[in-house]
Structures are given as structure tokens and as C-alpha cells.
Amino acid sequence: MTHASIGGASPDPSISRFESLLVEFGKGWEAARPAAMAAVFTPDGAFIPSPFEPAVRGREAIAAYWSDVPRDQAAITFRSGEVFAAGPWFASEFTCTFRRLKTGEWIQVSGAVFCETAGDKISEMRMYWDRAPVRAPE
């Protein structure tokens, strides 16, 4: 979905490109495919999992960071919110709900991503999130 900027001006054409990157990242998470999640990044891209952790650099390292997803998460759903863009940067809220394979507990991760792009890929993604148990979906 694209959104008009404040004041009713025409939608920013880059927003649909940024939304596509976020959708592809989310599809990779839902499919428990770390390599697909990492594929939205430039080859030397950086993923910063939280403000308190160092950057994970490069697609292989980013895929390795997410390698626990296939072992630990099932029934994954990822949703993102409206994308806000300024030049090569974009931001969006997200939620991801999954069931822990080992315990059966349902978890919801809610947060926001702040991304910089280069060409048609993400060169840096900063993720701010919180994780909490939730009731099982009906």
C-alpha cells in the first residue's frame, strides 16, 4: 500500500519499493528462511538487532543471526505498518507472532525498523522491539 504525504501531495514512488523490501523480509521470517531474510540486504549490509547490540554485517552473518528461527519458531505471522520515507531512509512498525517449538508458548514481537537503502536493497536496518507472551490465536 502507498500513502500520500502530508498535505495531499502525490505518494512517494520509493515507498512501494521500501514496502516490498519489508514484505520480502517478513515472508522470509514467516517461512523460517534466514537466507531469504538476509537477501533484502546489500552484500555488506548491516543489521542492528537492538540499540544495545553491535551490528551484524554482511548477508551471511545476517542469515546466521536469524538461524534459530527454523529451530525455535513455528506458525509465524509477520505484519508491518505504514511506511514512512525520507530520501533513502524508511521506517515502519511491525508485529511478528509465533509459537515456540520447544515449549508451545505463543510470543508476539512488536517493534519498529529504521532502514537505510542503497539501490534496491537495505544497507542498514535498526530494529527496536519488545517480546511478550500472548494467547494462542483462535
Q: What is the mean pLDDT of each run of 10 residues along the chain (138 residues)?
A: 41 86 98 98 98 96 98 98 96 98 98 97 98 94
> pTM score, two decimals?
0.90
Write down the pLDDT at residue 11.
63
Where do the domains of the chain lie? 13-133
Angle (CA) 58 127 61, round 5°: 20
Q: Which residues contact 96 (CB under 8 A, 6 or more apart)?
A: 26, 29, 76, 77, 78, 79, 108, 109
Write down the pLDDT at residue 8.
45
Q: What's the CATH number for 13-133?
A: 3.10.450.50
Write down the pLDDT at residue 94.
98
Angle (CA) 21 9 121, round 5°: 15
Q: Give me the count of residues in the chain.
A: 138
Bridge partners, 65 (sequence order): none
